[in-house]
């Protein structure tokens, strides 16, 4: 099977070649050498010595494995599973300085990651000075969710059915823009729409893989996909650089407005406790903001879109959610991995969250390379979904087949669907 390329978010990678293994007493399990065909099946005996870790090159397929592979197989071995290959295409993302798309894993990388996580969390849970919301994240998400309710009802009245994903991605992008840049855009703002399009283009091109990563000589031949990838990164870097320069010109250390201001302050003071040895240049600020934007955008938008698709496909599950929202909040968060059963994450009584099962959901990855924005991403998805489902009922146009086969990319999305229909649950309580 020919290798389509490598996707850093699709599955954990084997240990980096330079990373020492815990057990060197025997030969490692065989891995195919891309892009040569791999016609020999992996011997079952390898699972007894190397563990039930699936590995295959070829067209994307859904794979199921034993539960202890994703949990016990990785837990306690973070150093072994944090490696990334030094792929040539990574050097075009943030000039090779990306926290997510980089082979670096040393102390400086760890400190920069801690700094980015700290800044993201601080400006998410910080109290809102202008509203009754418990924190800034709730304020930003509430504004966008209320906008979506209004927009969905408006578009439904005009067209009777529609593709809701195009509106969801813009709202999610607006939340991370507010946290990173201190600015909420109008949804028709061309600058915001260009950034959203760049994010979608990046996911499509990066997810398809780059043959040049495995056949170096191809870098010297004309390559439209690679040139498009370079151009996407150049345009996004230019967008972030422009905003960072605007922040520098209006920076006030007594009034830190957003994550960008926080990073500028760290850069100027060069002091941040245990991370004081991490010197941030203007360029590195741009790279960190790039990573944070990506961490809070595509993964969240994809998870939210899938959630709305599933509640529309499974009205019984949606009804249970509506009942819970009208009574009291339960974190309704599996034996049949292909079945949609949100109750799998609850205890037998249905009143408590089964955390052991919940930890098997790897929407944000796992280990030391897990998504920077996982914490706020989960909060954001919860806030968006509860607001939308409190006020709206989602369905699909009767009689129209819907294809939810995952489409390969940086994150797995379903095909464009224009069959969504919504209605208000409580029209008499509407403020519209």
The domain limits of the chain are 94-295, 300-429
Average of pLDDT values for 169-198?
91
Structure tokens at 199: 């994010």
pLDDT tens for residues 218-274?
888 888 888 988 999 999 888 988 998 999 899 988 888 888 888 888 777 764 444
pLDDT given at position 207:
73
And the tokens for 184?
A: 């909420």
Quick one: CA dihedral 351, 353, 357, 362, positive or negative?
positive
Task: Give the Cα separation of 174 and 297 in Å (integer).
Answer: 9
pLDDT at position 363 over 80: no
Q: Which residue has the higher pLDDT, 154 or 118?
A: 154
Q: CA angle, 388 as apex, 382 and 391 as ends, to 5°? A: 135
Measured from the Cβ of residue 290, the count of other Cβ atoms closer than 10 Å reads 25
Q: Looking at per-residue confidence, does 419 or 32 come out higher?
A: 419
Q: What would the mean pLDDT of 334-360 be, rounded to a whole number?
A: 66
pLDDT category, 99, cuts 50, 70, 90? confident
Task: Specify which residues 422 forms β-bridges with.
Answer: 394
The answer for residues whose C-beta is within 8 angstroms of residue 286's C-beta and 6 or more apart is 94, 237, 240, 241, 244
Cis ω before 35 (30° cut-off from 0): yes
Domain 94-295, CATH homologous superfamily name and number:
Cytochrome P450 (1.10.630.10)
Q: Which of 134-138, 325-329, 363-367, 400-404 has the highest mean pLDDT?
A: 400-404
Please give the C-alpha separations between residue 258 and each of 147, 180, 253, in angstroms, as whole numbers: 22, 6, 12
Categorize the per-residue pLDDT at 175 as very low, low, confident or very high, splitting at 50, 70 and 90: very high
b/e burial code for range 301-335 (CB count within 10 A of at least 16 → b): bbbbbbbbbbbbeeeebbebbbebbeeeeeeebbe
Q: Identify the residue with better confidence: 319 or 204.
A: 319
Task: For residue 21, give the H/E element and its range.
Answer: none
Taking 80 as the threshold, does the pLDDT of residue 369 lie above it?
no
Mean pLDDT of the chain: 74
Give the integer Cα–Cα distance in Å for 96 and 108.
14
Q: What angle do CA 398, 400, 401 make, to 5 degrees?
A: 125
pTM over 0.85: no
């Amino acid at each position: 099977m020919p290798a389509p390329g490598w996707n850093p978010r699709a599955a954990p990678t084997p240990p980096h070649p330079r990373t020492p293994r815990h057990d060197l007493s025997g030969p490692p399990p065989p891995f195919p050498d891309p892009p040569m065909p791999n016609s020999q099946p992996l011997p079952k005996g390898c699972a007894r010595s190397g563990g039930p870790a699936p590995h295959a090159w070829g067209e994307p397929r859904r794979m199921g494995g034993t539960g202890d592979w994703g949990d016990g197989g990785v837990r306690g071995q973070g150093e072994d599973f944090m490696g990334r290959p030094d792929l040539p295409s990574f050097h075009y993302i943030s000039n090779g300085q990306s926290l997510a798309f980089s082979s670096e894993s040393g102390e400086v990388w760890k400190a920069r990651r801690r700094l980015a996580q700290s800044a993201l969390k601080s400006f998410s849970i910080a109290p809102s000075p202008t509203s009754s919301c418990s924190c800034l994240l709730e304020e930003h998400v509430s504004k966008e969710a209320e906008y979506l309710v209004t927009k969905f009802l408006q578009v439904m009245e005009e067209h009777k059915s529609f593709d809701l994903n195009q509106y969801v991605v813009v709202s999610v992008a607006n939340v991370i823009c507010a946290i990173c840049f201190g600015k909420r855009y109008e949804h028709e703002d061309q600058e915001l729409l260009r950034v959203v399009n760049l994010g979608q283009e990046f996911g499509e091109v990066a997810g398809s893989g780059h043959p040049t990563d495995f056949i170096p000589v191809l870098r010297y031949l004309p390559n439209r996909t690679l040139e498009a990838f370079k151009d996407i990164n150049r345009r996004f870097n230019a967008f972030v650089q422009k905003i960072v320069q605007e922040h520098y010109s209006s920076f006030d250390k007594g009034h830190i407005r957003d994550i960008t201001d926080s990073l500028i302050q760290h850069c100027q003071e060069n002091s941040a406790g245990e991370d004081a040895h991490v010197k941030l240049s203007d360029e590195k600020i741009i790279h960190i903001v790039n990573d944070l934007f990506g961490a809070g955008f595509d993964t969240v938008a994809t998870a939210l879109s899938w959630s709305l698709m599933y509640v529309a496909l499974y009205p019984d599950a949606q009804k249970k959610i509506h009942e819970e929202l009208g009574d009291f909040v339960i974190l309704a968060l599996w034996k049949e991995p292909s079945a949609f059963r949100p109750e799998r994450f609850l205890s037998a009584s249905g009143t408590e969250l089964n955390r052991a099962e919940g930890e098997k959901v790897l929407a944000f990855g796992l280990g030391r390379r897990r998504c920077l924005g996982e914490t706020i991403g989960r909060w954001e998805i919860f806030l968006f979904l509860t607001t939308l489902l409190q006020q709206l009922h989602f369905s699909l146009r009767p009689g129209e087949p819907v294809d939810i086969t995952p489409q390969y990319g940086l994150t797995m999305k379903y095909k464009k669907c224009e069959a969504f229909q919504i209605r208000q649950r409580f029209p008499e309580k509407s403020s519209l």
